[in-house]
Each structure stands twice: as structure tokens, then as C-alpha cells.
């Protein structure tokens, strides 16, 4: 608990940035590292509470997930869907080649 | 060579002895819903690119997913059919990764709390034995879009029609021990899904596909490191891929190497697997509960209601066919493989000889459909007409041999067998006088053979029967011909 500060280092920031496809300038990395450690330290206060008998909470509202009937009520809006695409052709999104 | 021949399915012979395969399967089954899991766009195949896409599927800002009740129902139904634990509360998580055909940047799936927990199914093996395979879990998730890589030299084309279509991922326990068992497992799951109508099971169209986790070990050892072969869309490929992957692993281990846990692809042209993902963090999905979706909850009474809609499943049906219709285990397992087969059979066999119906359906009907390349559902011979033909045979109106001609006619003209028999005058002749007439003719024309027969050449009886049958154009009742001939030749 007291060692939270040392959890995130620059390689961790690099990894998270890569996973999130974010480009982080070199000069900002130390600040981000500090920020992330501060956040974790803040959240780590929860460790002071015994939660061993508490179910993890996925929602605080107490509402149930509403279910909808299986009906086709949407679609046929290709133009709208493709409107913001940088490139499209005959109804397809066109992107740089993504194949290994 | 002899050693290889003595290997049981699932065994690999290496330099250091015999290795055993350990296999677990993840089956992705597309739910047969009209609309998608979280949006009202159509889930059907074959529409124009991006025409079955809503703003939810395209992941436009501010759009919220709303779950499809039918899809939840199908997952529960499938869970019940797999004798599995139904979880009245389950949670949707985001599985984060980047790919061009996943506009959200995450797939909505279920990670720690799936809708269905542990279960088990019994599979039928080719040698007639059965074995039980454990089910680890079943969860609901979204399908991704489709990328076309062959339209342009430097670009990929993306169609999001499939994005958000509901899938069930059914995960087995690592209980499978041979490629053949894996094939039988997929067959059984597919059959169950079709019976309950949760998925059409069409592997060519991709409605059902499997990822296979394969490792090898010496019998009794702990599990080895596994590799996952992705996206196999036929039972034949599943069997080939597992076999070749297990052999590859044995070669590596025996050469002193180590298996690297990785995702592999099966190359259908070479029959071998190859490494697919190189990045070590490709599996870092950072799952977390989707804040757009509340936990999915439903009551026991709803589960009970769904249970009431379950049809008779292949295992119980098979027992019923064997016990009530007197057909063999083998024939029964062929008939229950597809719900359409068994529905056809039950209608055809209604009120007639069940065993004869099964024989005719499996040998003649399946054979003719295959030869003519006709889909089962488009069979020109209907269940009622097959049943009618069986009745004609059982009652002795036509012989089995004539019945085959009538059947061929039915395949072409779609006429009823009675109509064909009447039109062509094919009724079996069971009239003593008429048959005696034919016998007299045959005897008078074959005096020399009659002499031989009376002289002790008993085998010639067959010749006389053949001649009489030929003369009657196959219509004489063979039993009666036999009896009358013996009497005439005393």
C-alpha cells in the first residue's frame, strides 16, 4: 500500500500509450508517470477498508438492464454511417491495409 | 510403420515415446436473431456493404447499446440444453483492442460473470462409444466487422454489417483427447444448436466457427503449454489442424525446444498451422465492466418458462427411435444428427414399419439426394410419400425391387407411389393362376434344365425363379413363385 508510488514507471506509461494508440511526447512522460501514481495512490485508500465480504459492484443505480424485442428497427443509413470516413468506396470504409 | 498403425486417435509417436493430445474448444455460434445484440440493425447476411449498420454499431459518440431479449433467451436455452448452470445475474465487459473492423475499439463480451456456467454433453464417437465433455462456460458477445484485403494493393475495405451481431462463445473444458473427439464434439454442439433453433450451424457461412486450444503431454503428466488455432470453419479442418499442430509441438519438444503460447492460423492449402500474432501484448485486453450496460438479471421463473420451450434433444430422441421404432443405434444416430432428418423420419414412419422406413430413408433417399445434389429440405419425395411407399411394400402390393423403380420415378415426377404403381400397372402379381401360367411357359422352354434339376442340381431353382420373375417384368410375388415352382418341379 505504501509503495504505490513505485507502481507506474516510464516503461509502463509507454506500454499503456501503445495499447491505447496514443503518441506521448517524451517530455510529458515523467509528468504522466507522476499523475498516474497519484491517481493510484488516491484509489489505494480503498485498501484500508475490509471488502472481503462485499460483492463487486457493476452499477450503483439498482436498475435492471432493460431488454428490447428482436425487431429490425434501424439500418439502411450507409451515407450517414460513412459520412465522417476519411475515405470510402462503393459503400465500404477504406483504410490503410491491415493484414499481417 | 506398424507402430504408427497401432496408435490410437489422439496419440502422437515421437522419438521418446507416445504423446497424448489435450484439446479444448471455443465455439463461436451466431445467434439466429433478426436484429443485432445491442442495436436494431438487421443481423441477416448478404445485404449491401454497411447497410445493416446503426449508429450504435458504428460507435458514434453518445449512442447507447440496448440488449436483445431473444438473444438472451437463446443463450439461456443453449445453457439448459448443455445441462449447464444458468447465472441469473451476469455482467458485460469491454474487451479492448484495436482493429479496423471494430469501430468501438472494444468488443462487448462477458469475462468474469458469464450468463452460463459449467455444464456437460455426451458425444458419440465413430467406434460407437460415447464420452462426456465438460463445458466451462457460455457467454454472449458481439461479432466484429469484415475486412476485405484483396480489393486494392495498399488499402483494406471494411464492411460493418456483421459488427454487433450476437455470438455465443461456448468454451469446453480441456477434456478432448483426439482430433476425432473434437470433430464429434463440434458435431454434437451444432446438432443441439439446430434442434433448439439458437443458431443455424452453417459453418460455410461462418455462423459456427471454432478456435482449438492444443497441447501435448506424456500420459499422466501435467498439461503442456498450449497454442490456439483460430477460426476453423469446417469439421475436416478442425481435425486436420489439431493433428498437424500436435505433431509440430512434439517435434519441437523432442528437439529440445519449448512451445511458445501463441495464436496460430491453419493454412488449408498446406494443411499446417503458422504463427499469427507476433506482438506480445496482443492479448492485453484490459477487460472492465461496460459502464453503458447494467448487469443482466432475470428470474428463475423466466428460465423455467424457457425450459418449457426446449424440444426433445438428440440424445433422448435417439433412445426413443431405438426403443419405439426398432431401428439400430447406428441408424438412429444418423437420423438424429439433423433435426430435419428426424422430423422427416417421424412423419414418414407414422403407422408403417419403422425399420424399413429408416433403411429406405438412409440408403435410397439420402443416396438419391446426394447423387442428384439436392438439398435435403428440397427433397422431391415427401415424408408422406415415402411412408406410402413403405406401406405398399409391407402390404405386398409391390416387391422391394419394383419399389426401387417406383422410388426413382418419384424422385423425378414427385408423384405419389400409388399413382405410379397404378399408372404403370406395377402391382405385384400374387394370383396363383397367373403365376402358374408363367411357370408352365418357363418349364416348357427349358426342358433340359428341368431334367438336370430333377437329377439333383438343386441350385437351378434360382434360375427358374429368375426366369419367371423376368417374364412377369418383376411383378410376380417372389415368395409365391418360389413356392409354386417347387411344387411344379416335383
Which is it for strands B146-148 and A92-96: parallel, antiparallel or unpaired?
unpaired
Report whether pLDDT(A6) > 80.
Answer: no
> At A11, which CATH number?
1.10.20
Of B52, B68, B159, nearest to A92 by CB-CB distance is: B159
Residue of B35, B478, B102 whose CA lies nearest to B285: B102
Contact residues, chain B, for A100 at CB < 8 Å: 276-278
Residues B336 and B211 in one domain: no
How many H helices and E strands in chain A?
A: 3, 3
Q: Looking at the domain assignment, is residue A68 inside a domain?
A: no
Cα–Cα distance between B141 and B34 in angstroms, integer? Answer: 16
**How far A77 CA lies from chain B's nearest CA (Å)?**
6
Does residue B8 sit in the same domain as residue B147? Answer: yes
B296 interaction partners in chain A (CB closer than 8 Å) = 65
Range of the domain at A26: 4-48
The verdict on residue A18 lying in a domain is yes
Q: Are residues B199 and B74 in the same domain?
A: yes
Cα distance between residue A38 and residue A44, in whole Å? 10
Mean pLDDT, range A46-69, rounded to an integer: 85
CB atoms within 10 A of CB B223: 11
- Residue pLDDT, tens place only, A61-70: 778 899 999 9
Residues of A with Cβ-Cβ distance to B157 under 8 angstroms: 89, 92-94
Output B3 or A93, whichever has higher pLDDT: A93
Question: Based on the domain organization, do B296 and B183 belong to the same domain?
Answer: yes
C-alpha dist (Å) from residue B424 to B407, B473, B475: 13, 11, 11
- CB contacts < 8 A (A, B): 137
Which of B190, B31, B79, B78 lies closest to B124 in space, CA to CA? B190
The answer to pTM > 0.90 is no
Residue B40, pLDDT > 90, answer: yes
Look at residue B322 and tell me whether its pLDDT is greater than 80. yes
Asked, for residue A85, whether it belongs to a domain, the answer is: no
User: How many domains would you assign to chain B?
Assistant: 3
Q: Which residues of B touch A21 (CB under 8 A)?
A: 98
Q: What is the mean pLDDT of chain B?
A: 92
The verdict on B99 and B237 lying in the same domain is yes
Say how many domains are in chain A.
Answer: 1
The string of DSSP letters for B74-124 reads HHHHHHHHTT--B-SEE--EEEE---TT-TTSEEEE-SSS-SB--EEEEEE
Is residue A20 a part of any domain in this protein?
yes
| Chain A residues with beta carbon closer than 8 angstroms to that of B146 | none
Min Cα distance B55 → chain A (Å) is 7
Please answer yes or no on whether B156 and A15 come within 8 Å at the CB atom.
Answer: no
Among chain B residues, the shortest Cα distance to A90 is held by B49
Same domain, B362 and B471: no
Confidence category of residue B1, pLDDT binned at 50, 70, 90: very low
Taking the C-alpha atoms of residue A1 and residue B224, their distance in angstroms, rounded to an integer, is 36
If one counts every other C-beta atom within 10 angstroms of the C-beta of residue B197, the result is 14
Q: Which residues of B touch A80 (CB under 8 A)?
A: 55
Lowest mean pLDDT among B162-166, B277-281, B400-404: B277-281
Interface test with A, best of B33, B40, B103 (most A CBs within 10 A): B40
Whether residues B397 and B328 fall in one domain: yes
User: Same domain, yes or no, for B83 and B108?
Assistant: yes
The answer to whether the Cβ–Cβ distance between A74 and B41 falls below 8 Å is yes
Out of B274, B305, B336, pick the residue that ends a domain: B305
The alpha carbon of residue B43 is apart from the nearest alpha carbon of chain A, in Å, by: 8
Residue carrying C-alpha cell 438424429: B336
Regarding whether B252 and B380 lie in a shared domain, the answer is no
The backbone torsions φ and ψ at residue A69, rounded to the nearest 5 degrees and listed phi first, read -75, 155
- B184 vs B310: CA distance, rounded Å: 22
Least confident window among B138-147, B274-283, B462-471: B274-283
Higher-confidence residue: B86 or B124? B86
Q: Predicted confidence band at A100 (pLDDT cuts at 50, 70, 90)?
A: low
pLDDT tens per residue across span B104-136 = 999 999 999 999 999 999 998 888 788 999 999
**A contacts of B66 (beta carbons < 8 Å):** 66-68
Q: pLDDT digit string (tens) for B325-380?
A: 999 988 998 999 888 999 999 999 999 999 999 999 999 999 999 999 999 999 99
Domain end: B424, B443, B461, which one? Answer: B424
Give the mean model confidence (pLDDT) for residues B146-156. 92
Mean per-residue pLDDT over chain A, rounded: 88
Is pLDDT at A2 greater than 50 in this prediction? no
Of B39, B34, B79, nearest to B55 (Cα)? B39
Cα–Cα distances (Å) from B269 to B67, B237, B265, B273, in that order, read 40, 11, 12, 10
Chain segment B281-318, per-residue pLDDT in tens: 556 899 999 999 999 999 999 999 999 999 999 999 99
CATH number for the domain harbouring residue B475: 1.10.10.410
Is the residue at A41 inside a domain? yes
In a domain, A12, yes or no: yes
> Chain A partners of B156 at a C-beta cutoff of 8 Å?
94-99
Cβ neighbours for B225, distance < 8 A, ≥ 6 positions apart? B215, B258, B259, B260, B261
DSSP secondary structure, B305-366, as one string: HHHTTPPPPHHHHHHHHHHHH---HHHHHHHHTSHHHHHHHHHHTTTS-HHHHHHIIIIIIH
Whether B266 and B213 map to the same domain: the answer is: yes
Provide the residue range defining the domain that includes B161: 2-305
**Distance (Å) from the C-alpha of residue A80 to the closest C-alpha of chain B?**
8
Strand-pair category, A92-96 with B263-267: unpaired
Of A43-52, B235-244, B324-333, B471-480, highest mean pLDDT? B235-244
Mind listing the pLDDT tens digit for each residue in B166-222?
Answer: 999 999 999 999 999 999 999 999 999 999 999 999 998 899 999 999 999 999 999
Instruction: Give the model confidence (pLDDT) of B413-437 as tens digits.
Output: 999 999 998 888 888 777 888 888 8
- CA nearest to B224, candidates B200, B253, B199: B253
Residue with more model confidence, B462 or B115: B115
Return d(Cα B27, Cα B82) in angstroms, integer: 13
Residue B457 has pLDDT above 90, yes or no: no
A4–chain B nearest CA distance, Å: 20
Between chains, do B69 and A69 touch, taking CB under 8 Å as contact?
A: yes
Task: Give φ, ψ of A87 to 5 degrees.
Answer: -145, 140
* Chain A residue whose CA is closest to B31: A70
For residues B192 and B249, membership in a common domain is answered with: yes
A78 within some domain: no
B112 with B261, same domain: the answer is yes
Taking CB atoms and an 8 Å limit, are B70 and A70 in contact across chains? Answer: yes
Tell me the nearest-neighbour CA distance from B181 into chain A, angstroms.
Answer: 32
Q: Could you tell me the sign of the dihedral formed by the alpha carbons of B345, B351, B353, B355, in that order?
A: positive
Amino acid at each position: 500500500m505504501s509503495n504505490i508510488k513505485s507502481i507506474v514507471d516510464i516503461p509502463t506509461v509507454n506500454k499503456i500509450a501503445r495499447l491505447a494508440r496514443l503518441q506521448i511526447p517524451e517530455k510529458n512522460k515523467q509528468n504522466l508517470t507522476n499523475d498516474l501514481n497519484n491517481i493510484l495512490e488516491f484509489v489505494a485508500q480503498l485498501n484500508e477498508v475490509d471488502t472481503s465480504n462485499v460483492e463487486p459492484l457493476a452499477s450503483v443505480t439498482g436498475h435492471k438492464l432493460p431488454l428490447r424485442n428482436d425487431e429490425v428497427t434501424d439500418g439502411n443509413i450507409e451515407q450517414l454511417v460513412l459520412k465522417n470516413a476519411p475515405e470510402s468506396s462503393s459503400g465500404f470504409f477504406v483504410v490503410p491495409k491491415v493484414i499481417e | 510403420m506398424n507402430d504408427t498403425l497401432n496408435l490410437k486417435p489422439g496419440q502422437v509417436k515421437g522419438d521418446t515415446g507416445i504423446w497424448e493430445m489435450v484439446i479444448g474448444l471455443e465455439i463461436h455460434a451466431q445467434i439466429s436473431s433478426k436484429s443485432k445484440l445491442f442495436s436494431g440493425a438487421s443481423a441477416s447476411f448478404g445485404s449491401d456493404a454497411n447497410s445493416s449498420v446503426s449508429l450504435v454499431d458504428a460507435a458514434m459518440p453518445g449512442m447507447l447499446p440496448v440488449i436483445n431479449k431473444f438473444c438472451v433467451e437463446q443463450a439461456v436455452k443453449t445453457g439448459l440444453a448443455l445441462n449447464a448452470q444458468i447465472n441469473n445475474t451476469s455482467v458485460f465487459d469491454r474487451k479492448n483492442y484495436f482493429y479496423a473492423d471494430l469501430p468501438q475499439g472494444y468488443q462487448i463480451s462477458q469475462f468474469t460473470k458469464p450468463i452460463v456456467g459449467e455444464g456437460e454433453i455426451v458425444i458419440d464417437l465413430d467406434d460407437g462409444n460415447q464420452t462426456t465433455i465438460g463445458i466451462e462456460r457460455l457467454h454472449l458477445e458481439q461479432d466484429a466487422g469484415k475486412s476485405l484485403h484483396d480489393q486494392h494493393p495498399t488499402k483494406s475495405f471494411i464492411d460493418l454489417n456483421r459488427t454487433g451481431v450476437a455470438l455465443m462463445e461456448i468454451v469446453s473444458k480441456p477434456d478432448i483427447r483426439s482430433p476425432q473427439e473434437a470433430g464429434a464434439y463440434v458435431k454434437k454442439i451444432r446438432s443441439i444448436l439446430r434442434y433448439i433453433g439458437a443458431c443455424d450451424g452453417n459453418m460455410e457461412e461462418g455462423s459456427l466457427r471454432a478456435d482449438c486450444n492444443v497441447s501435448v503431454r506424456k500420459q499422466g503428466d501435467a498439461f503442456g503449454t498450449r497454442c490456439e488455432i483460430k477460426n476453423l470453419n469446417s469439421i475436416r479442418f478442425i481435425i486436420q489442424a489439431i493433428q498437424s499442430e500436435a505433431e509440430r509441438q512434439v517435434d519441437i519438444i523432442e528437439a529440445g525446444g519449448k512451445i511458445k503460447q501463441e495464436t496460430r492460423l491453419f493454412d488449408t492449402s498446406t494443411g499446417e498451422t503458422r504463427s499469427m500474432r507476433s506482438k506480445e501484448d496482443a492479448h492485453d485486453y484490459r477487460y472492465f465492466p461496460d459502464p453503458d450496460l447494467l448487469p443482466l438479471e432475470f428470474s428463475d421463473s423466466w428460465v423455467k418458462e424457457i425450459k418449457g420451450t426446449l424440444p426433445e434433444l438428440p440424445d433422448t430422441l435417439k433412445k426413443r427411435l431405438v426403443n419405439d421404432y426398432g431401428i439400430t443405434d447406428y441408424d438412429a444416430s444418423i437420423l438424429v444428427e439433423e433435426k430435419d432428418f428426424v422430423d422427416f423420419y417421424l412423419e414418414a414412419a407414422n403407422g408403417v414399419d419403422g425399420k424399413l422406413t429408416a433403411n429406405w430413408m438412409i440408403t435410397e433417399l439420402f443416396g438419391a439426394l446426394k447423387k442428384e445434389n439436392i438439398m435435403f429440405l428440397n427433397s422431391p419425395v415427401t415424408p408422406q410419400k415415402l411412408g406410402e411407399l413403405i406401406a405398399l411394400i409391407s402390404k405386398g402390393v409391390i416387391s422391394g425391387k419394383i419399389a426401387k423403380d417406383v422410388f426413382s420415378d418419384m424422385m423425378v415426377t414427385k408423384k405419389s407411389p400409388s399413382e405410379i404403381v397404378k399408372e404403370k400397372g406395377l402391382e405385384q402379381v400374387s394370383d396363383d393362376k397367373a403365376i402358374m401360367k408363367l411357370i408352365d411357359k418357363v418349364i416348357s422352354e427349358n426342358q433340359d434344365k428341368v431334367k438336370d434339376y430333377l437329377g439333383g442340381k438343386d441350385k437351378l431353382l434360382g434360375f427358374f425363379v429368375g426366369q419367371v420373375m423376368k417374364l412377369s417384368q418383376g411383378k410376380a410375388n417372389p415368395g409365391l413363385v418360389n413356392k409354386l415352382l417347387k411344387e411344379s418341379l416335383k
